[in-house]
Structure 1
Amino acid sequence: MVWKEEVNSIPETILEFRNVFKAFPKSQHPAISDISLSVQRGEIFGIIGTTGAGKSTLLRFANLLESPDSGNVLFEGRDVSYLSGKELRSHRSKVGMVFQQSHLVLNRKVFDNIALPLKALGWNKEQIKERVLELLRLIGLEDKIDSYPSQLSGGQKQRVGIARAIANHPRLLLCDEPTSALDPETTRSILGLLKSIHKKFGITILIVTHEMEVVREICDSVAVIEKGKLIELGSSYSLFADPSQEITKKLTGGVLDHSIPEETLARTKGRILKIVLKDQVATEPILGKVIRATNYVPNILHSKIEYISGKPIGVFYLETEQDNSSTETIRSAFVRYGAQVEEIYR
């Protein structure tokens, strides 16, 4: 990778892990084993894996809440792996963090919780008030300014935690399982808030989660971690549409592996084709084109459209006649128009 050396340049890669390694005593395997990956400025990057995979350890390398035993952590092109003292505090001021639990100070009001990092950086009272009020409007909790954490719901606490994390305009926001303790409706609202923050401030977000709905909803890129190792890396869309590793298929739930209902299958007499439409092809009227091109009208048995990061993946099953000629004609037409075709055998 070529790094820009000009003083005024801004590296496209905001965070890079180079061969980072970490082992904890009495663990059966390293927490992190020789992982290298990059997070690009302005993206939402997800880290997924099973419990104990090493996701949170890797995340915490970014603000040095955990330090690697070996390897390097680069932030905006600078090696920050082993900072301490004033330099470490300066680095952490550029990296906000949202925890699984909000970690609010219980005996301080909402205003004071959000203001904490600003006071630590020496902002004056007027600057603090202006910024806190701006953030309260952003998270929709202006009326909770004088409330204590015990008076807030779980979702409200997390909103306050997010506001505190971005109070001093960090360039990178770390989110460690930010929705795992929330109900589905509240989770959607928190994801909406994170997307709003990402759009409004252009902040880069690195998020650890085991909830695939979170990944599908907001992540641009995803890394799959298993037993401390990087197993798979790619765009969110590609990992759901074409997972190559078994652990990834298990985690993503096999988005394209939709089976035909048994009662539907029992009524079929012909041959069955599974049609998969991805990327631009999924937005086009492929079935109509195939019917016009072949003069065959196959029976649609089952269909579903999934959306990953706002992009569609279409899957549907067709029943064709038993003869090879008509089935091959239909198959060839779908392939010609960019679809993936697989015959399903009972």
Structure 2
Amino acid sequence: MEGTLALVSIIVVVALIFDFTNGFHDAANAIATAVATRALTPRRALEMAAVMNFVGSLLGQEVAKTIGDGIVEISPDAGKVGLVLVLGSLIGAIAWNLVTWWFGLPSSSSHALIGSLAGAGLAVSFAVHWGVIFDKVIVPMIVSPLVGFTIAYVLMKLLLMAMAKAAYRKTMRGFRYAQRLSSAAIALGHGLQDAQKTMGVIVIALTAGGYHTSTNADIPLWVILSAAAAISLGTYSGGMRIMKTLGSKIIDLDPARGFVAESVSASVLYTTAFLWHAPISTTHTVTASIMGVGATKRRSAVRWGIAGNIVTAWVLTFPAAGLVGFVATWLIQAVAV
């Protein structure tokens, strides 16, 4: 039992490290547009995002239960093999996060974790719930960016028509103030979505080790607070590489477009978390919304080459993280079990 407790403790620490990397990897999601339009300074934006990430992490558990109970079959008698699965999946997700962060690509930490969980499950011959992955991961992975792009494009077109005769400088000044609210709304949604994924993984480890009744039971308060703190600290640590890609490389944003992109992204995050219970990618949603508002300028305003690189990273994330998770789990199992 002592050996199991030690392994569970290691997994909890590694899960919180993943949560931290998720924070600094995805910090740009909430604040890149506000910083690019000078609605907020980088430091003030990071402070705001860290606080809102923490608050958002406390607002629900349904996404966490989708991760904990829906991806792989884990029971209280899974024992050491189940713990090896969780550890290997976390290593795979962290590795992919670090690779994409280094190259400044806004890939999905969510899909990295889920793909790595699936790969780890295959490595130890645990049941992988492919139906849940399709319904709660693959479909939202396709739908949420399309919805974000389309709604952002339509709303921006309507806004441009409504404000065609408005004074440009005064209007942009107003949208800079409005962006402070819209970027805070995204940061809240990011905490709501992404911190819960770490909570779900920790619950898997606790269940496999026999320290939690089931992966679908209520999440202990210490798990919620630890995950909230880790993602907030990671966010505060920054994410300037990816912030530059989202804030300026895709399109040169003005405050009005930044506000619309952020507002649409936040709405999609809340809808999928509360109604669909789907662990969608904040990164995908924000990036697609930025492309949507950018396309209202003119087609050439969006740097489609950069956008293509980002989409490539999206497509590769699930299988690449799955492969790393499979290999890591197989190696750990060979040594430890």
- TM-score under structure 1 length normalisation: 0.23
- TM-score under structure 2 length normalisation: 0.23
Structure 1 or 2: more helix by fraction? 2
Structure 1 or 2: more strand by fraction? 1
Q: Based on CA coordinates, which of the two structures has the bigger radius of gyration?
A: 1
